[in-house]
Amino acid sequence: MTPLPPSHRAPCRRWWTTRPSWRGSWKYHVIAGAHPQAALVAQPEWPSLEGAPIPIRRAAPFEVKNATVVTADIACDNGMVHVINRVILPG
């Protein structure tokens, strides 16, 4: 998996983690498969687990939808994490 979690400093992070509607929102922050930054920028968008596409900025700075990636390529046992600076929503 490639999760795109908002950092602890992201605006609305508290809302995202405490609201009943967060279940759909967090799925928009995950891409199936483990993808490093180099792979993500090779395509203009990726499908989220929620189903809606996540647009990827292919030039610097590395961005997903309207969020800047503050830390990329954090390798984990089950994937690759990219921390973003805000909550992103489909649509």
* Domain locations along the chain: 2-84
Assigned CATH for 2-84: 2.30.180.10
Query: Which residues lie closer than 8 Å to 67 by C-beta, 6 or more apart?
Result: 4, 6, 84, 85, 86, 87, 88
pLDDT digits 0-9 by tens, 25-76: 788 899 999 999 999 999 999 999 999 999 999 888 899 998 999 999 999 9
pLDDT of residue 65: 93
Count of residues in the chain: 91
